[in-house]
Chain A
């Protein structure tokens, strides 16, 4: 496969759920792509649709309550058109997923070895012995010490960090092309988080799989990702390289997020930057720009017309009417609006 070709290309994805309150659109017009060997970060706060997007790739939502529109192209095939039978071959095999809470994702009544072997047998159908050896091998790859012994352990015998390693081992056992990691380190302590992120980075160097890292933590993004997609209230509002994002963010929401994080270097006597207000509920999404009523740059146009995701530079997309002015003001104006 051509290295520059997109592994996964999401175009205009729209996901709606039927709920008691009627039809709610959780994700609208999500567009981004992942290349082979690339780590892409999807960031945003709770309710921004980042997990919904990732779960839509494998169509994990209750199909009777969910409508998908748009395209999810995986190797030029639209996953939304594929029959369930074919999707089953892709799930866990070519695209696999790790979740935030490893305890509830592992079956407590089977040993981790059983679970690994089971998943290998499902997709690859090797001999039992080969599967067993492969299982030990992937456990070793995730940095679990003495995997020959650990393979007989039950999930509850392991610590949180070890369980997450087992989850990673499960996810990579079939050598996926794409790994979706949904908040893989949120439930872990910092030192364990550092270990897990290292494991993921190493694995990627070895296997050249694409990683989609879903997180709310911009610092994790800075450490692991090549490109970043920022989501707000169901929309992609900015997409660019990591360096660009941290140096030259254009969307007021991204800028606000970056500034509201207390960092290890910032001046402690400063007030932290606040984004005013709260995220609106999905059932009353603003008509114009969805961020307008919290945005310090909002104009009348913002309140009335919804902006589209446009190219600011070749590698930088932003959904904002005023990004040019913001770019101009940067450095002298906006940076001081905190005080």
Chain B
């Protein structure tokens, strides 16, 4: 029998291995690096931005990128670099808050509908109802009713993205619920709370996290679209969307007004999607891969049986 210390080291070695796996997953790594840089930019915006993003300088309108103004200036002569930095801050903040709130509410809604069949019918019809509207239209409508400001944009986006998460959680929870280990827990007399919180949630975590990163990315795009349409963050607050909107009018002679905020949106969304895909690879345990391979082999075998002898 091995000593306690030996067991512990084995255990630690295993943990280190999973960290090594993150590093060997290039997609996840690239995505995480982009997200972390964007997060640092957002948090440190007041220190990074060289100018006040609201400071108007009518003499220096629409100046191309230069040493003083890295990204040039906009049609009010405001420093574009500072505005993009602050815009990233707002976009990132909105995306993160929407992802977290929609994630938590969606998790609760999904779990409730998976485990309580009466509520399931009610909740899922509401979810279907929300789902039936194109998300941008619904968000527009909500903001139009409540008036454009940051809180209303947040509320609109959370409402719009709860259904996608609730559905993923519900279907995953239904699978977990039918597993024998849940029956084994019932045989021990485990409470519903224990089955839900301690056993079901960890088993849904991977699809949930993947869906949340996806919502994070889409919320950023939707917020940009709302702002672009004038129903998002109201001017003069900078957001990547409304900077783009301002840039649209001058796109033929002031390319920097669209290229820089546009690239930041792309970068943010790309980073999140890469991280989401990478996480999926990481969180699926190895067994799943092996099984997938095996079933592929069997499938090729069955092909002959099924189509009879081709």
Contacts and interface: CB of A to CB of B under 8 A. Distances in A.
B308 A170 contact: yes
Nearest to A100: B298
Nearest to B301: A60
Interface residues of A, number: 29
Interface stretch (A2-10, A87-95, A303-311): A87-95
B297 A170 contact: no
Interface string A29-68: 0000000000000000000000000010010111000000
Nearest to B296: A62
Given A55-B301, A60-B300, A60-B301, A96 B309 contact: yes
Interface in B281-310: 289-290, 293, 296-297, 300-310
A123 B309 contact: yes
Contacts of A105: 302, 305-306
A118 interface: yes
Nearest to A99: B305
Contacts of A313: none
A115 B309 CA distance: 10
A104 to B, nearest CB: 6
A98 interface: yes
Contacts of B297: 55, 60-62
Contact of A93 (B300, B307, B309): B309
Contacts of A55: 297, 301
A92 B302 contact: no
Contact of A91 (B289, B293, B304, B306): B304
Contact of A106 (B296, B304, B306, B310): B306
Interface of B: 289-290, 293, 296-297, 300-310
Given A60-B297, A118-B307, 15 more contacts: A19-B293, A60-B304, A91-B309, A92-B309, A97-B304, A98-B305, A105-B302, A105-B306, A106-B306, A107-B306, A115-B308, A122-B309, A167-B305, A173-B308, A174-B309
State the 7 A-B residue pairs at the shortest beta-carbon distance, nearest first: A92-B309, A119-B308, A105-B305, A60-B301, A55-B301, A119-B309, A105-B302
